[in-house]
Amino acid sequence: GVAEPTLQLSGERRFIVELPGLSDPDEAVRLIGQTAQLSFHPVLEVVGGPDAGGAAPVPGQDGEIILPDESGQVLRLGPAAVGGEAVGGAAAEFSSAYGQWVVTVDFRGDGPGQWAELTSTAACAAPGDPTRRVAIVLDEEIISSPQVATSIECGVGIAGGSTVITGGFTEAEAKDLALLIQAGALPVPVEVVERRT
């Protein structure tokens, strides 16, 4: 969201980021330094309301985890069906079809098949059933758990290698989410060693 940012290498393991005209340096450091571990999970069931659990993940059996969703509802999730490495890119855009800011996600490698399989299973559940939802988990936090659209057929899923995340995002939220999803495609720990204005 800044004009003419620059990024350059400084030695073998460092890089310099310059962000002219930045209004919130703390937010930039937070975003640059965040290591995004991204995964997509089937929702197995709702296990409680907003007060039924904390924000810390609870391990379940066989790779299952229990996390609160974006509204505070506590969900039991199956093991990750699609990992961050299967994400080819993500972008924020205003969709006239949805009338809101959305995030489009493109998959690569085995991602399109994994995404189609995950959504084809979810689409077999009745509308409103928790198992029709897919949880998008970023750094052990559910950032979105949308229901698969009723137009998607059971056993078919969302094909084509891309999907759209809706959630009533502001422009800034959509852009941040797209950046973090992209970072989740290749998570590398980043440490800020010097910062100046």
Q: What is the pLDDT along the chain (197 residues), one digit of tens a residue?
A: 677 888 899 998 899 989 888 888 888 887 776 666 889 999 999 998 765 444 455 666 677 999 999 888 999 999 999 998 899 999 999 999 989 999 999 999 999 999 999 999 999 999 999 999 999 898 888 888 889 988 899 999 999 999 998 878 899 989 988 887 887 776 667 788 888 88
Do 34 and 180 meet the contact criterion of CB atoms below 8 Å apart? yes
Do 25 and 17 meet the contact criterion of CB atoms below 8 Å apart? no
- Whole-angstrom Cα distance, residue 70 to residue 117? 24
Q: Is the pTM of this model over 0.75?
A: no
31 burial level (CB within 10 Å; 0-12, 13-18, 19+): middle
Q: Could you tell me which of 145, 164, 158 has the C-alpha nearest to residue 101?
A: 164
Residue 189's SS3 state is coil
Residue 136's SS3 state is strand
CA dihedral (52, 55, 59, 65) positive or negative: positive
